[in-house]
Amino acid sequence: MWPRLEARPERSRVMVYLTPLVAAGLTAVAGLILFAALGHDPVRALTIFFISPLTTSFGLTELIVKATPLVLCALGLSVGFRGNVWNIGAEGQLILGAIFAGGVALAVGDAEAPWLLPVMVCAGIVGGMLWAAIPALLRTRFNANEILVSLMLSYVASLLLGYLVHGPWRDPDGFNFPETALFGESALLPALVEGTRLHAGALFALVAVGVVWVLLMHSFIGFQVKVMGMAPRAGGYAGFSQARVVWLGLLCGGALSGLAGMVEVAGPIGQLHPQISPGYGFTAIIVAFLGRLHPLGILVAGLFMALTYLGGDTLQIEMGLPRAMTGVFQGMILFFLLASDVLIHHRIRFGSGPARSRASTRTGGA
């Protein structure tokens, strides 16, 4: 008999928290099949991908380094997503944050300046917000689709960065490589653990979790965002402004993505070059969904997705598999998550006939 879906009377709260785990489990199973199909020892490959990065202190610190920009971007995106504002241009906003913060750092150079890092933080946030303000303005003023505009701007941002590091900002002593000079000491985030790349940016991510939590769960504007996301007409009757939700969603995304850009260039990278982000802004979309658009969920999901980056690297080193494995796994996780989300609103029934009569039969038999 074919299984069929039956609508639940109300959404299952258990499933809301269970489906991310179901998705991770299904991804692992699919990974086993994929590795076996490619002719590799599936258990070993999966262990290398998901477990071995966690067994060394280097791996653990790297995990946090990679999770930091993911969590920051995803937190920002979640505010928009909750209000049905589809900002998918976090990558571009991250790059603009990096350009603004990097520009400040390069202007100051090697001079001793204790005020430099705070200024760079502000510059990064402003850069990201300015980039996100474009789709917000075009959406609220001209009704232009923010998905397409924010995505197009990601390509433009990437080209802008390419232009700067190939042209005006290129390091004159850099042997013609497309990169800027290294930032001065005062422009670098201090290390949290000496001898590792773990830096103070991770603390920004933790603070951001708290701020977004208060914003979404304990503020009136956060309530408006959620209402406009779930029932825009009800929000309209209550006098909530759609435009305000669009602006808030995009500006939060821009601010935190811009901060993520600043954190990357002032943390692990220390200069500007064309590849400052391996697609963090896009992966953050998955992080936001996997974390159920909840700040704490995003924190956990960010660490998990960071693992897919490390796992891809380890797999390449130990088994010679291409790094693109990371992207395949990330796509699978989101697919499985969205597919298993059907269980939030539905339950699976086997057999035919309306469920109620089946239920009554069962009670009758008991």
Partner 1 sequence: MDGLDAIVALLVATIRAATPLALAAVGELVTEKSGVLNLGVEGMMLVGAVAAFATAVATGSLALALLAAIIAGMLVALLFAVMTLSLMSNQVATGLALTIFGIGLSAFVGKDFIGIPIESLESVYVPWLSDLPLVGPVLFSQDPLVYASVALTFAVSWFLYRTRPGLVVRAVGENHSAAHAIGYPVIGIRYLCVLFGGAMSGLAGAYLSLAYTPMWVENMTAGRGWIALALVVFATWKPGRVLLGAYLFGGVTIIQLHAQGLGVEVSSHILSMLPYLATIVVLVLISRDQTKIRLNAPACIGKVFRPDH
Decide: is 331 part of the binding site for partner 1 (CB under 8 A). Answer: yes
Phi, then psi, of 348 in degrees rounded to 5 = -90, 130
SS3 for 354? coil
Question: What is the four-CA torsion angle of 338, 344, 345, 347, rounded to 10 degrees?
Answer: 100
Of the ranges 9-17, 39-47, 103-111, 332-340, which one interacts with partner 1 (CB under 8 A)? Answer: 332-340
Query: Pattern 158-197, binding to partner 1, x per CB under 8 A?
Result: -xx-xx--xx------------------------------
Rounded Cα–Cα distance for residues 46 and 5 (Å): 32
**Which H/E stretch holds residue 25?**
helix 13-37
CB nearer to partner 1: pick between 142 and 237: 142
Rounded Cα–Cα distance for residues 191 and 292 (Å): 31
**Which H/E stretch holds residue 85?**
none
CB neighbours (10 Å) of residue 217? 12
Decide: is 264 part of the binding site for partner 1 (CB under 8 A). Answer: no
Q: Do 362 and 344 contact (CB within 8 A), yes or no?
A: no
- Tell me which of 111, 207, 238, 339 binds partner 1, using CB under 8 A: 339
| Residues 222-251 close enough to bind partner 1 by CB under 8 A | none
CB nearer to partner 1: pick between 184 and 278: 278
**Closest approach of Cβ 330 to partner 1, in Å?**
6
Q: Do 131 and 93 contact (CB within 8 A), yes or no?
A: yes
- Who's near 365: CB < 8 A, 6+ residues apart? none
- Tell me which of 49, 50, 183, 282 binds partner 1, using CB under 8 A: 282
**Closest approach of Cβ 16 to partner 1, in Å?**
14
Decide: is 51 part of the binding site for partner 1 (CB under 8 A). Answer: no
Count residues binding partner 1 (CB under 8 A).
46
Of the ranges 104-112, 135-143, 211-219, 294-302, which one interacts with partner 1 (CB under 8 A)? Answer: 135-143
Q: Do 264 and 284 contact (CB within 8 A), yes or no?
A: no
CB nearer to partner 1: pick between 83 and 267: 83
- The CA distances from residue 25 to 51, 298, 302, 312, 345, in Å, are 14, 18, 17, 18, 20
**Closest approach of Cβ 50 to partner 1, in Å?**
17
Decide: is 332 part of the binding site for partner 1 (CB under 8 A). Answer: yes
CB nearer to partner 1: pick between 1 and 366: 1
Rounded Cα–Cα distance for residues 364 and 243 (Å): 55
Annotate 171-187 with DSSP letters as a single string.
-TTSTT-S-PPPPPGGG
CB nearer to partner 1: pick between 23 and 125: 23
Decide: is 40 part of the binding site for partner 1 (CB under 8 A). Answer: no
Phi, then psi, of 4 in degrees rounded to 5 = -135, 165
Decide: is 148 part of the binding site for partner 1 (CB under 8 A). Answer: yes
Decide: is 90 part of the binding site for partner 1 (CB under 8 A). Answer: no
- Tell me which of 55, 56, 57, 145 binds partner 1, using CB under 8 A: 145
- Tell me which of 96, 129, 153, 307 binds partner 1, using CB under 8 A: 153
Of the ranges 103-111, 201-209, 226-234, 278-286, which one interacts with partner 1 (CB under 8 A)? Answer: 278-286
Of the ranges 169-177, 222-230, 297-305, 327-335, which one interacts with partner 1 (CB under 8 A)? Answer: 327-335
SS3 for 317? helix
Nearest to 344 by CA among 78, 19, 37: 19
**Which H/E stretch holds residue 346?**
strand 346-350
Q: Do 71 and 295 contact (CB within 8 A), yes or no?
A: no
Which residues in this chain contact partner 1 in the complex, by CB under 8 A?
A: 5, 7, 86, 88, 138, 142-145, 147-149, 151-153, 155-156, 159-160, 162-163, 166-167, 282-283, 285-286, 289, 322, 324-332, 334-335, 338-339, 341-342, 345-346
